Structure 1
Amino acid sequence: MTERTLERSEARLLVPALVFIALVVAVVASLGTPLITNVATTFHVSLGSAQWTLTVALLSGAVATPVLGRLGAGPHRRAAILATLAIVVAGSALTVLPLPFAWLLIGRAAQGVGLGLTALMMGVARDHLPEERSTATIALISVVSIIGAGVGYPLTALLAEIGGVRAAYGFGLFVSAVAFLTAWRSIPVAPEGRSAHVNVAGALVLAGGLFLVLFLAGQRSLWSRHLTAAVILAVAAVLLLCVWTASELRSKAPLVGVRAVRNLAVAGANIAMFVGGSGMYLLLTLITRYAQTPHSAGYGFGLTTFAAGLVLVPFSVLGFVAGKLTPRVRTLIDAPFLLAGSAVVVGGGFVLFAAARSNLAELLVAMGVLGFGVGGFSAAMPGVILAVTPKSETSSAMSFNYVVRSVGYSLGSAIGGLVLAAGTDTGHLFPDYHAYTTAALVGIAAMAVTAMTATALARHRPPEINPTAATASVPSRRRSSR
């Protein structure tokens, strides 16, 4: 067997390994969503406390992502990946063992750390795969990190109905252990000549700021009952994030390359990710909540948790299809235009939901349209950022984008909750029918802003980084074909 054949064989094995690991960490982190009610009844805690099984995973993932992104830019990327997956496996074990609720939260926080691996999988693909193959693989990794929730939701809901919450979390333990073994066998070492230092103080400040942001996004009652306290915490969050940004700009070893945000493509892509992510998660929240609303409210379909999870199947299937098609379409259409087009598709999903939701088939169509738009958007996003990013900074650049995405998702969930809460009459459990229409109009506006931002990016494209420049501190550039 020739060396070239061996390399091609290893590449064929590496691609499914990277995609599988990205899918697993997304599924495991999303386990909190369908199990909130089950956790509340099993551990005898309030729904607000049970909600933290989701929030704490998002928080730990948001904090771990930039830290792992920086480690992924250095020589110890393989060790960082294996150590992170070991943490996920240990956390998954805590969620299965018959321990008090506090240990469940610790386990969920450990599982959420795995969200930081998505950017590292992209870095591995860009370093060790041919350019064309790496582009398609990175797009697919980005997509499965989104549709993972749609894959895990119905399965874990079914397991919870059959064997209880421990059985559902047991599924997370199994797949995370398989992911660890897959990484052990498949992940290569990083190229030589790299170094990476983690700004620990910056990581702590970022953790504080993100904690307040996600806490405020998840505690809707705080805004309605204790507005002054909420505003004070919001100001504190902004100050912490400003302090973190200032320290990153002065640091010789920044956690995230904040200076790169000055690049029009990077800044615009992150703005589009923040606003677009808010809108995408808003529609996902609206459809699943509407489907589970009982008939007694005058609308809704009263679906069980498992049945509501099946509503996400069109989202996952069409999201995957869009992710596979996007790299091919990119040969004809620039990535920023694909972002804009995908935002328009998601906006179309909002329009469908606002205008037609009287039967379940209409919800399924809207969910499928949402999935196709989200899949295209997620697959096109890395192309916009990585076009102006050297290979050695792939993990760091994408990790920042994923932090922005996490905050955007949290904001979208919070906006949906606030709009529906405002449309709920006193003494009623469920919002008015028209509150969903109002929330959909908010989403349409968000996707319009996203589409305009992406279009502006397409009109002001900077020179691209030469993809063959692996680690140069001053990357070579190629002339634009335009």
Structure 2
Amino acid sequence: MTESRRSALIGPVLVLATLVSSIISSFGAPLIPTVARDFHEPLSTAQWSLTVALLVGAASSPVLGRLGDGPRRRATMLGGLAVVTAGGVAAALAGDVEMLIVGRGLQGVGLGLAPLAMAIARDELPRASVPPMIALLSVSSAAGLGAGYPISGLIAEAWGLAGAYWFGAIVSGFALICVAAVVPSSAGRGGPHRLDWVGTVLLALALVTTLVAVAEGTQWGWGTPAIIGLLAAGAVLFAAWTVQQLHAGNPLVQLRLLRHPSVLSGDVCAMVLGAAMYMVLSGVTEFVQSPRSGGFGFSASAVVAGLVLIPLSFFMLSSSRALPTLVPRVGVRMVLTLGCLVAALGCGFFAAFHDALWQAFVMTGLLGVGLGTTFAAIPGLIAQAVPAGETGSAMGFYQVVRFTGYSTGSALTATILAAHVTDNDQPTADGYTTVLWISAAICVAAAALAWFLHARLTPPQRLPANEIRLPKQTDDLPSRAAPSPANPRRHS
């Protein structure tokens, strides 16, 4: 393959690699009722087939992002895709729900590939192509759900759960081959050579203990010693991780980057919106599959439940493409705030009106418009505020907070539905509407955070001379600018 052809294919291959995370996620929400039925488990247990993938994605994102800032970038992406492929095989061959959850956990590594892809895009693509590509990579993993959900539902309906997971293994294997053929090696480039294993373990333990407590609080009882102990342990572990990261010579995540207004406000909004997004995805896909005999729901198949999310995918992609026009006119602060409010409107609409299936399509369309603008804008804000050599780490932490929000939203949905059940342990209509109203309230809170937090933190701090900023305007992007004599740029 010639060098020019290889360079032209880098962008599409990076999008393909991030779409793997959409495929992984697509085996979550729509298939939860199928997992519960096939393995004879309650919905709260089946929910872990989604939550565990998001949890592993949150823990793996900073690791993959940090490795993406060094000379092992290509090898890291290849290794991640190999683990995802192995997880798909394990899930397809699973004979019980425990093995299925293990396989889904391995697949969750794919959710951490976006930071790697963004770091590669910033370093390998022409300067004018970087901002739109980073925005596209940010939304593609979420927007791909609209296509991935009906496809996975259709495959599961025709060939069962195993067929859906075999499909995921094939897709990730194909992405592995494409990355191996197209993405250039980063060997010899600067960057951290030693991974912060202490920080990695502390973060993973903190996430696991906290999310297990959130997911099992209703089942075990919120006042039980086990739940209280897990929540306390999670708080202590997060505090220890923060202190360790601030004092480590080569930390997993440069927490000091949060001093930049755009980084802090973007990360906070991403976590809050991520929780709301997965509360809606889990709640709505289960709601439309609920039998009408229960007094609500539409007795829909997994395929129809997936089709409900097509507007989410379409409007996330289309609204993200409008970002270069919106930002110069109204400003990033207004874009983030309005996006959050539109998402809240969608959640509130379906909470109030859910008697017809078309109302679910309207809701996901509104959600797509709101999330498309916000999730496209946040990575650009972060990338322009951090040094070029910290792009992978910063995007990794962005993925951590976003997937922490995803995991929290998934776990909260299971908790709320478990607290609103009938005599035969099936969720009630009140349980689903509670999920939607809470999601709407979370989006409103995110809008307030985007508006007031950004205002309190401006004007932004000036970066040191050796830190490369990505301007908002595509035409001015200097991501591949020549290094200054005094501070030569260190390739990531």
Whole-Å separation in 2 of the counterparts to 1:76 and 1:386: 21
8 A contact 1:319–1:372 mirrored in 2: yes
Which residue in the other structure is 1:81 paired with? 77
Structure-2 change in CA distance of 1:153 and 1:175 (3 Å): same
Whole-Å separation in 1 of the counterparts to 2:356 and 2:220: 34
Pick aligned residue for 1:466 from 442, 464, 469: 469
Matched, 1:185 2:196: no
8 A contact 1:82–1:180 mirrored in 2: yes
Whole-Å separation in 2 of the counterparts to 1:329 and 1:64: 33
Matched, 1:145 2:145: no
Once the 2 structures are TM-superposed, how far is the Cα of residue 438 of structure 1 from its aligned partner? 4.2
Alignment of 1:418-457 (within 5 A): 418-424=415-421, 429-433=426-430, 435-456=431-452
Q: Deviations over 1:400-434 (max 9, x none)?
A: 1111111212222343444444454666733244x
Q: Deviations over 1:296-318 (max 9, x none)?
A: 23222121222111111111111
Which residue in the other structure is 2:105 paired with? 109
Secondary structure of the corresponding residue to residue 75 of structure 1: coil
Whole-Å separation in 2 of the counterparts to 1:312 and 1:418: 23
Secondary structure of the corresponding residue to residue 219 of structure 1: helix
Higher relative contact order (CA 8 A, sep 6+): 2
Which residue in the other structure is 2:365 paired with? 368
8 A contact 2:122–2:130 mirrored in 1: yes
Alignment of 1:56-67 (within 5 A): 56-67=52-63
Amino acid at match of 1:280: M
Which residue in the other structure is 2:87 paired with? 91
Which residue in the other structure is 2:475 paired with? none
Which residue in the other structure is 1:410 paired with? 407
Which residue in the other structure is 1:36 paired with? 32
8 A contact 1:17–1:182 mirrored in 2: yes
Whole-Å separation in 2 of the counterparts to 1:29 and 1:359: 26
Whole-Å separation in 1 of the counterparts to 2:379 and 2:223: 40
Which residue in the other structure is 2:164 paired with? 168
Amino acid at match of 1:293: S
Once the 2 structures are TM-superposed, how far is the Cα of residue 369 of structure 1 from its aligned partner? 0.7
Secondary structure of the corresponding residue to residue 16 of structure 2: helix
Matched, 1:204 2:207: no
Amino acid at match of 2:20: V
Amino acid at match of 2:127: E
Whole-Å separation in 2 of the counterparts to 1:437 and 1:222: 20
8 A contact 1:424–1:432 mirrored in 2: no
Secondary structure of the corresponding residue to residue 266 of structure 1: helix
Structure-2 change in CA distance of 1:416 and 1:269 (3 Å): same
Once the 2 structures are TM-superposed, how far is the Cα of residue 57 of structure 1 from its aligned partner? 1.8
Secondary structure of the corresponding residue to residue 300 of structure 1: coil
Matched, 1:346 2:343: yes
Matched, 1:158 2:154: yes
Secondary structure of the corresponding residue to residue 144 of structure 2: helix
Once the 2 structures are TM-superposed, how far is the Cα of residue 373 of structure 1 from its aligned partner? 1.3
Once the 2 structures are TM-superposed, how far is the Cα of residue 205 of structure 1 from its aligned partner? 1.2
Pick aligned residue for 1:12 from 8, 12, 20: 8
Whole-Å separation in 1 of the counterparts to 2:15 and 2:433: 36
How many matched pairs? 470
Which residue in the other structure is 1:479 paired with? none
Matched, 1:329 2:332: no
**Identical-residue share of aligned pairs (%):** 37
Which residue in the other structure is 1:303 paired with? 300
Secondary structure of the corresponding residue to residue 322 of structure 2: helix
Which residue in the other structure is 1:71 paired with? 67
Matched, 1:316 2:319: no
Secondary structure of the corresponding residue to residue 369 of structure 1: helix
Pick aligned residue for 1:119 from 95, 115, 129: 115
Whole-Å separation in 2 of the counterparts to 1:425 and 1:85: 42
| TM-score, normalisation: structure 1 | 0.89
Amino acid at match of 2:377: A
Whole-Å separation in 1 of the counterparts to 2:353 and 2:35: 34
Matched, 1:52 2:48: yes
Which residue in the other structure is 1:282 paired with? 279
Pick aligned residue for 1:240 from 237, 241, 244: 237
8 A contact 1:209–1:241 mirrored in 2: yes
Which residue in the other structure is 2:192 paired with? 195
8 A contact 1:85–1:179 mirrored in 2: yes
Amino acid at match of 1:171: F
Amino acid at match of 1:321: S
Which residue in the other structure is 1:399 paired with? 396
Amino acid at match of 2:301: T
Whole-Å separation in 1 of the counterparts to 2:104 and 2:333: 35
| TM-score, normalisation: structure 2 | 0.87
Q: Deviations over 1:375-395 (max 9, x none)?
A: 111111101111211121111
8 A contact 2:66–2:252 mirrored in 1: yes
Whole-Å separation in 1 of the counterparts to 2:425 and 2:89: 40
8 A contact 2:29–2:282 mirrored in 1: no
8 A contact 1:466–1:475 mirrored in 2: no
Once the 2 structures are TM-superposed, how far is the Cα of residue 145 of structure 1 from its aligned partner? 1.2
Structure-2 change in CA distance of 1:441 and 1:165 (3 Å): closer
Q: Deviations over 1:164-199 (max 9, x none)?
A: 111111111110111001101121233833334211
Structure-2 change in CA distance of 1:271 and 1:170 (3 Å): same
8 A contact 2:29–2:286 mirrored in 1: no
8 A contact 2:196–2:252 mirrored in 1: yes
Whole-Å separation in 2 of the counterparts to 1:108 and 1:441: 29
Once the 2 structures are TM-superposed, how far is the Cα of residue 130 of structure 1 from its aligned partner? 2.5
Amino acid at match of 1:267: L
Amino acid at match of 2:19: L
Which residue in the other structure is 1:384 paired with? 381
Pick aligned residue for 1:132 from 124, 128, 131: 128
Q: Deviations over 1:343-369 (max 9, x none)?
A: 111012123223322211122111111
Amino acid at match of 1:305: A
Deviates more, 1:240-249 or 1:437-446: 437-446
